[in-house]
Structure 1
Amino acid sequence: MKINPAPLHLAQTVITGLVLAMSIAILGTSAHTLDVFKKQQTSNPWWLPLWPQHFDVQGTKALIASAAVTVFLSIVFLVLSLVPKFNLANKHTLRALIALGTTIPSALLALVTVIYAHVINHDTPNHDTIQTWTCKYKNSKPLQQDLALPANMGNGNFGSLCMQSKFALYGTLTVLLLLGGSMALSVLGWLADKWSARQTRKEMEQS
């Protein structure tokens, strides 16, 4: 029975492309929420600047770091696997090793990041994260005399920041699942390559 490994390699390439796109989006949203927090914390009363130690942004920083590493490693794999110069299509074991070498670190980092961010998000009321704080007060209304405050001194963008924070966290979980699928395809693709090469040798010996 002849097995064609090409669909497995194509599926892995598509998944890696999805991981790359998702990680770029996570990187952008996480960086944006952290940037808004840093710019407004000392001026926007909705961030309670008198108690800056109440906020823990390490989870957001971890999401940024995880996404950045995943973007880099995904690009490395895509370049090595798609550029004909490297000829990985005919180097089955090397292709599998590169695939696992770029997905396993990303998957481990994503797993640790998701757990870490989840733990920090559930540390309230002792501490709040950007996500827990913006989601908590996104629908709150300022006092009547504060209605004329500038946009950067209100909670008008808390709804957007809440959604972006949630997207970054659950997006990282999605990336983790996609990376798990990519690792499985790496192994299956390598086995399919080996089997196909073996069958080709047998056919050549018989002819």
Structure 2
Amino acid sequence: MKVNPAPLRTGQAALMGLCAALSVATLGTSAHTLDIFNKQQTSNPWWLPLWPQHFNVHGTKALVATSTVTFVLSAVFLVLALVPRFNLTPTVRALLGLGTILPSSLLALVTIVYAHILNSDSPEQDTIQTWTCKYKNSQPMEEEFRLPSEMGNGAFKSICMESKFALYGTLVVFLLLGMSMLLTIVTWLADKWAARQSRKEVEMTAH
């Protein structure tokens, strides 16, 4: 039975490309929410600046770090695997895939669990996500005056959505990485099988 590993390689590259693209999206949203918090925490009364220790932003920082690492490693794989000049052997390609997928997967899993643990600590200690989602619709005294954007919670709804996207986007990346790992192994086996069949055909032709 002949096996063509080319579609498998294409699928592998496509999955890694999706991981890279989604990592950029999660990086953008998590970094944006963290930037708003850092800029407004000391001035916006909605962030309760008198009690800054109430907030734990380590989960958001972990999401930023994870998405950055995942994007870099995915990009490294794509460049080395798709640029013809590198001409990777099936074994080297498989090792490269596992070497970029495993660290990203482990980091993503730890970050997801860590972020969920921090979110579950609310209301004793809030994260950017739990706080903004809690008060995204609270707008007291709106009839009397309108607060400037940096002095109210007008952006809380979007920050809440971005925070959720960053977390669940990382979960999707983790699942894609798991699929990529499985496809990497299958692609390597298919390459070895195709090489074996080619050698047999050459030997039969020689005889």
Same fold? TM cut 0.5: yes
Q: Which moved more, 1:141-150 or 1:173-182?
A: 141-150
Give the corresponding residue for 1:116. 114
2:49 matched to 1:49? yes
Number of residue equivalences: 205
Q: Secondary structure, in 3 states, of the residue corresponding to 1:4? A: coil
Deviation track 1:94-124 (CA, whole Å, cap 9, x = no partner) reads 0000000000000000000000000000001
Give the Å deviation of 1:189. Answer: 0.3
Any residues of structure 2 matched to 1:193-204 within 5 Å, and which?
193-204=191-202
The TM-score normalised by the length of structure 2 is 0.97
Matched, 1:136 2:137: no
Q: Displacement of 1:144 after TM fit?
A: 4.5
The amino acid across from 2:59 in the alignment is: G
Alignment identity in percent? 67
Q: How far does residue 146 in structure 1 lie from its aligned partner after superposition?
A: 6.2
Provide, for residues 22-60 of structure 1, a one-character-per-residue CA deviation record: whole Å limited to 9, x for no partner.
000000100000000000001000000011000000000
Whether 1:60 aligns to 2:60 is yes
Question: How far, CA to CA, are the matches of 1:4 and 1:85 in structure 2?
Answer: 22
Secondary structure of residue in 2 paired with 1:26: helix
Assess if the C-alpha contact under 8 Å between 1:57 and 1:129 holds in 2: yes
**Partner residue, 1:38:** 38
Counterpart CA distance in 2 for 1:145 and 1:152 is: 18
- What is the distance in 1 between the residues matched to 2:204 and 2:145? 85
Aligned to 2:167: 169
Q: 1:146 to 1:24 in 2, by over 3 A?
A: farther
Task: Structure 1 unaligned segments of length 5 or more: list them.
Answer: none
Which residue in 2 is equivalent to 1:188? 186
Q: Over aligned residues, Cα RMSD in angstroms?
A: 0.9
1:97–1:144 CA distance, 2 compared to 1 (3 A): closer
Deviating beyond 3 angstroms after TM superposition, the runs of 4 or more aligned structure 1 residues are none
- Pair 1:146–1:67, CA change in 2 (3 A): farther
The answer to whether the Cα contact below 8 Å between 1:142 and 1:154 also exists between their aligned partners in 2 is no
